[in-house]
A and B are shown apart, each in its own frame.
Chain A
């Protein structure tokens, strides 16, 4: 059955498809996307691929250099550490711990931040103004400080450091959600829904949320890069994950003791964190400019 078609084109891309097209057009962003996908793959399947148990000590193979050095062996691709543990397996496991917990905590922070931000954005008056101002001010407190306080109360550990970072990320989501909801609430399509008799829940889930997802993806990518750096920084400072848990910052701190005789123990985990953060930032940046292009066209 022939249908009447208003448009000339065969198909009309959805906004998401258009963003994706813009995104793919940038080679750098797309490369970053693939690297990020790789990290994602590693953090899900890494331990299955890993040649050794990351905690397996091997007293006969202490500080074996990486395979590309003169006296390295192929059986330990990235060499071994001071306890004879395979650095490659440790880094794979480290990606899982660091990246996995970062994603998890960003999701939690997003969920909480969006809920509070929406309430704050949809209500107005003195109450929300006081909350907003205090929140804005408290947003400036450094994560490291929050982490130190939480560690002092609850003790060290990966989970405690995750709480600290989540707590530090929430205000950012609240802030953006709130101002986003504020501006959307003033728009006509929301007014139209309101006139149709939509209650606040329907208003949020059917009108505002679908429009907010792009903002959330962009903010999420920013938060993710902060989360990865913070988790590994806390691990590095011995305030987060504790050895022998293979978290990248912890592996780096461990390697510091043998930095002179086995520099790969410092270089490789550091490089991994750097690549992970770079990939996240490249993707985030690519997404933002793709969005910007779509909106200006």
Chain B
């Protein structure tokens, strides 16, 4: 219980810091503070005066900030300077796309990385381990934007296996309900869901693979390290001396103890994962938040950057804190915030 309270305080505090940063950005960005804060370009002085009063820009900074936070909480995030649309709507469409892509990549990394890592760990310092270790080192070193290009070149252009852009063929008019394309397709009434689902899966292959390649490599390395550390511990020797079968030792002792320390390491992975997803999005025209933010910077859409930064940071930090909390709950003996190298 105490932990929950501690973590919630931390969460709220961090969000406040972020909100303050995002508020400060309106002043730091070039151009008119009013426009940066609202996204509305006033047509005349009267409208301008009215807006200034509404956003309390004539008051001290503290009041401006409080009003800003209040507006954020009410869902009034301002308007895009370029498209004129409410930013909340735009982010509500873009953010799930990124989360979806990252989720699939993370799942791929978990389902491939953990078993391979365990295997390499159990066979540590043999040829197999050596090969897996080297390969994971290689794929961990790929710059994600380059490997995505190479994938496009090979799998789209040369072999024609997978399409290279978007989440689903644009011929499917998938209504946006949850923001997750696979779910939306299944919910949609106006299209042939089976056809669209297959199409969407095809579209997922390359972007997921590009991100997962790197995440899988780090997952393998983390798991392998952890398994090796567990293997050295005295209780494994004890179990062996008691004559337990290898299977039993692995599932009852090694696996659980090796997986526990992996969890906090996943927290750092989230940041890398989302960064990579954001870069890959621009190459595969994936309509996610990374693509959206990079367009916003090209277009100098300051209101969009202000809120976009807040949204991405909030999502990343929420995930990180959640994982930390989860980790503390299942394993209270751990040092808080333990992080490690890959």
Contact = CB atoms under 8 A, between A and B. Distances in A.
* Chain A–chain B contact at Cβ < 8 A: yes
Interface of A: 28, 133-134, 136-145, 148-149, 151-153, 175, 218-219, 222, 225, 229, 232-233, 236-239, 249, 252, 256, 259, 263, 266, 270, 273-274, 277-278, 281-282, 285, 288
Interface stretch (B107-115, B238-246, B249-257, B293-301): B293-301
A261 B149 CA distance: 15
Given A140-B320, A148-B305, A149-B309, A274 B143 contact: yes
29 contacts: A28-B134, A137-B321, A138-B14, A140-B267, A141-B313, A141-B316, A141-B317, A142-B278, A144-B275, A144-B279, A145-B309, A148-B294, A148-B297, A149-B309, A152-B300, A152-B305, A153-B29, A153-B30, A175-B339, A222-B341, A229-B143, A233-B144, A239-B297, A252-B146, A259-B153, A270-B146, A270-B149, A273-B146, A278-B141
Contact of B341 (A28, A256, A274, A288): A288
Contacts of B50: none
Interface residues of B, number: 50
A136 B267 CA distance: 11
A274 B146 CA distance: 9
B302 interface: yes
Nearest to A175: B339
Contacts of B282: 237
B221 to A, nearest CB: 9
A145 B315 CA distance: 12
Given A137-B14, A140-B271, A149 B25 contact: yes
B141 A281 contact: yes
B326 interface: no
A266 B302 CA distance: 32
Secondary structure class of chain A's binding surface, majority of residues: helix
B96 to A, nearest CB: 18
B66 interface: no
B28 interface: yes
Interface of B: 10, 13-14, 17, 25, 28-30, 134, 137-138, 140-146, 149-150, 153, 267-268, 270-271, 274-275, 278-279, 282, 290, 293-294, 297-298, 300, 302, 305, 309, 312-313, 316-317, 319-321, 337, 339, 341-342
B45 to A, nearest CB: 28
Given A133-B10, A219-B341, 18 more contacts: A134-B13, A137-B317, A137-B321, A144-B278, A148-B297, A148-B309, A149-B25, A151-B297, A152-B302, A153-B28, A153-B29, A175-B339, A232-B143, A239-B297, A249-B145, A270-B143, A274-B146, A277-B141
B313 A145 contact: yes
A123 B10 CA distance: 21
A134 B309 CA distance: 17
A239 B316 contact: no
A18 B25 CA distance: 50
A285 B268 CA distance: 18
Nearest to B279: A233
10 residue pairs, one from A and one from B, having the closest CB atoms: A270-B146, A278-B141, A137-B14, A142-B275, A140-B320, A277-B141, A273-B143, A140-B316, A144-B275, A141-B313
B62 to A, nearest CB: 20
B293 A145 contact: yes
B290 A144 contact: yes
Contacts of B298: 238
A142 B10 contact: no
B143 A277 contact: yes
Given A144-B290, A151-B297, A281-B137, A136 B337 contact: yes
A256 B145 CA distance: 11
A140 B270 contact: yes
Nearest to A226: B272
Contact of A274 (B10, B142, B305): B142
Scoring B30, B141, B316 by chain A CB atoms within 10 A of each residue's CB, the highest score goes to B141
Contacts of A237: 145, 279, 282, 294
B227 to A, nearest CB: 15
Nearest to A176: B339
Contacts of B25: 149, 152-153
Given A137-B10, A140-B317, A233 B309 contact: no
Contacts of A263: 153
Contact of B14 (A134, A145, A175, A218): A134
A291 to B, nearest CB: 11
Contacts of B293: 145, 148
A233 B153 contact: no
Contact of A281 (B13, B29, B140, B320): B140
B149 to A, nearest CB: 6
A229 B145 CA distance: 10
A113 to B, nearest CB: 14
Contacts of B13: 133-134
A222 B268 CA distance: 13
A151 B134 CA distance: 37
B115 to A, nearest CB: 22
